[in-house]
Amino acid sequence: MTYRIDCLQYANWSEKVFRQMRDGGVDAVHVTIAYHENFRETVLNIEKWNRWFEQYPDLIFHGEWAGDVAKARETGRTAIFFGFQNPSPIEDDIGLVEVLHKLGARFMQLSYNNQSLLATGCYEAEDPGITRMGKQVIKEMNRVGLVVDMSHSADRSTIEAADISERPIAITHANLHAWQPALRNKRDDVVRAVVENGGMMGFSLYPHHLKGKGDCTVQSFCEMVAQAAERFGTEHFGIGSDLCQDQPDSVVEWMRVGRWSKEIDYGEGSASNPGFPPMPDWFRDNRDFGNIEEGLHGVGFSDAEVAGLMGDNWHRFFDENFTPAHEAPDT
């Protein structure tokens, strides 16, 4: 069966967005439920999602396992998988890794843009790599089935995480640095380290990561996907759109600044345009995934390859990496 999976969104969630997921035939979405939140604040965000699951049971439900993607397709709904863009929800307590997995978290970035207790973010001038705590947390994440995500991490930290981790890691939302040299986009040696260890990378539609930003064409984007597939193998890639639909600019400030600074960090934006940049006209919301699918066919991918890129590759990755490393036998 062919699935449609987006491995990163942070929209301003509403019934409208949930209905657009259904109109776009999106079977599963990995949603960000923490940027800089501590454990208690993350639990409050889970409570919000529980209310949405209760309010819109015909549209969405909480996804925990790969099998929930098939359940979503069979029931005409979208499975929602939780993830963090920062390790702040575990605070300084490795025991919270298992607790948060049991609450439904399936991805956790080891750093956002800054240095964390675990790894270095892509905006830091120096990257000393994975920390002592980071090595222990990776081991624990491997044990429980919480995927290591290095989307916002610096190069050395990402390569080390891929090598240290006993299970494949992910870059859920980024593009090739050679195509668009943004700080967040990944150089070939970084991508190679991830995929050679069985990992996955999701391609981002966030305009700051695109060549030409909001003016990027679907053909240019799909040609970049083709370049990556030719270098590293189609089976290691999917979509992680980084869709931030309907979010106010105050959310950009929270994403970039959190609590670490009293100054505005413009990140990949500019002082004259600190908010969300305009999306390309061929990808404005969840109803536009068909445009990507058509574009991938247009640059020469086969039906099977397009199916993999649109979701089947992520589904395989979910199946292999969301469960604990050593499940007890049924009794």
Q: Which amino acid is at 18?
A: F
Instruction: For the chain, report the end-to-end CA distance as a whole number of angstroms.
Output: 31
Q: Which helix (H) or strand (E) holds 83?
A: strand 78-84
- SS3 of residue 154 by DSSP: coil
Domain ranges of the chain: 5-321
pTM (two decimals): 0.94
* pLDDT, tens digit, 9 for 90 and up, residues 202-238: 999 999 999 999 999 999 999 999 999 999 999 999 9
- Contacts (Cβ under 8 Å, ≥6 apart) of 25: 4, 289, 290
CATH topology of domain 5-321: TIM Barrel (3.20.20)
CA–CA dist 214, 216 (Å, integer): 6
| C-beta separation of 155 from 189 below 8 A | yes
Q: Is the dihedral of CA 161, 163, 164, 167 positive or negative?
A: positive
* pLDDT, tens digit, 9 for 90 and up, residues 21-55: 999 999 999 999 999 999 999 999 999 999 999 99
Tell how far CA 238 is from the center of its chain.
10
- What torsion do the CA atoms of 244, 247, 253, 258 make, to the nearest 10 degrees? -70
| C-beta separation of 268 from 184 below 8 A | yes
Residue for token pair 């990949």? 268
pLDDT for the residue numbered 328: 45
Tokens encoding 304: 């099977």
pLDDT band at 287 (very low <50, low <70, confident <90, very high): very high
